[in-house]
Structure 1
């Protein structure tokens, strides 16, 4: 029984490590893309952010729900690059 439990524990741990590794890699890729973005105002328009990062509007909505704050101005939505760098993806 102990061998079965140990094997199961090892499989669960391996899966968790793979999930964490994948999330970290995704976050690093987003950070690399963000570093390439330049803005005189320190902001990026929502549509450009979605295109440049290759994310969906749904992903951005999830990020908003998790605390990323959009700026609404003149019918357009912007994000501060500083906020994007600090955000935990």
Structure 2
């Protein structure tokens, strides 16, 4: 559904903004929650299935889908920087 929406917007020469194109976190005093039928607390992270994660990784399926759709309407660089970086993660069990 997401990819179809992006494709339709670009097909009709529309503008699109990916908010947030990457996740971000605010651990200050602005946390909250949503309320549909019941209150559900939400942590203060903007990493809601963004195209790029907070640490710069891509969500491969979503990122590739968006990139492929954009390529239908705009030329992509001939030697694009894919942003793929080999990273090593360390988890701390205690501090």
* Same-fold call, TM cutoff 0.5: no
Structure-1-length-normalised TM-score? 0.28
Q: Which structure has the highest helix share of the two?
A: 1
Structure-2-length-normalised TM-score? 0.27
Q: RCO higher in 1 or 2 (8 Å CA, sep ≥ 6)?
A: 1
